[in-house]
Structure 1
Amino acid sequence: MDGTDLPRIGAPATRALQAAGVHTLADVRRVGVDQLARLHGIGPTALRRLREALEAETDH
C-alpha cells in the first residue's frame, strides 16, 4: 500500500486516485466514492474495494 491505507485496486485506479490527490481513505471519504467513479481508470472492482475498505474502517 506504499504508506497509504488504501486497498490494492490496481495500477490504473491507483494512478487515477493519485492524480486526483486521493492518497488515504480519509481522502476517499472527503471526495466521495460516487465522485471517484467518474475518474478514468476507476472501474467497478476498484469502487467495490474502496467501499469495502471504508465499511471495514467504520466497523472498528
Structure 2
Amino acid sequence: MDEQTDLPSGIGKPATRAFTGAGYTRLEHFTRATEAELASLHGVGPKALRIIREALETRGQTFKPTD
C-alpha cells in the first residue's frame, strides 16, 4: 500500500492514520473539509490542524469555510 501523499512532516502518526483513513492523502484534499470536520476525526488534534493550516497557507489555500 504505497499511496502517494504530500502531507507535511511533523504530523503525528495517529493524525496521519486518521487523515489517510478518511481519504485525505494529498494537501489539496483538505480544502474540501472544514477545520471542525477534520478535528472530529479520532487522533486529530490542534497541532496536526495547525501544521495542515500552515502548509495550506504557503500555497495560498485554506480549509473549506464554515457556512
TM-score, length of structure 1 as denominator length: 0.83
Structure 2, unpaired ranges of 5+: 62-67
For 2:59 and 2:12, the matched residues in 1 are separated by 20
**Higher helix residue share:** 1
One-letter amino acid of the counterpart of residue 41, structure 1? G
Structure 1, unpaired ranges of 5+: none
Q: CA deviation at 1:6?
A: 1.3
Other structure's SS at 1:58 match: coil
Identity fraction in percent: 52
1:3 matched residue in structure 2? 4
Q: CA deviation at 1:5?
A: 1.9
Corresponding residue pairs, total: 58
TM-score, length of structure 2 as denominator length: 0.75
